Amino acid sequence: MTDHPVMKALCEAFGGPLVSTSANRSGEPPAMSAAEITEIFGDEVARVVQGELGGNAKPSTIRDLATGKIMRP
């Protein structure tokens, strides 16, 4: 669950939860701006939603809901 305003609006517009990972290629650091996403992925991505990152310096922790195990710190 997120309290990020852009993601909340996307979930509401979609009518349910969205699942995603960081915007990066495996093993590479995550892109931290729309410009970096475009530089990394070029025309492989149809659209980038503009919005603030929410003040986090790194991607959020991902946990397995059933076990609580941390999948990505």
Say what the pLDDT of residue 58 is.
75
Q: Supply the pTM of this predicted model.
A: 0.64
Domain CATH number, residue 13? 3.90.870.10
Alpha-carbon dihedral sign for residues 41, 60, 68, 14:
negative
* Residue range 23-68, pLDDT digits in tens: 888 888 888 888 999 999 999 998 888 887 777 777 778 888 899 9
Q: What is the distance, to the nearest Å, from the Cα of residue 57 to the centroid of all Cα atoms in its chain?
A: 13
Is residue 9 scored above 70 in pLDDT?
A: yes
3-class SS of residue 63:
strand
The number of folded domains in the chain is: 1
Q: How many CB atoms lie within 10 A of CB 15?
A: 6
3-class SS of residue 24:
coil
Say what the pLDDT of residue 23 is.
85
Say what the pLDDT of residue 1 is.
66
Cα 36 from Cα 38, distance rounded (Å): 5
What is the span of the domain harbouring residue 44? 5-72
Is residue 2 scored above 90 in pLDDT?
A: no
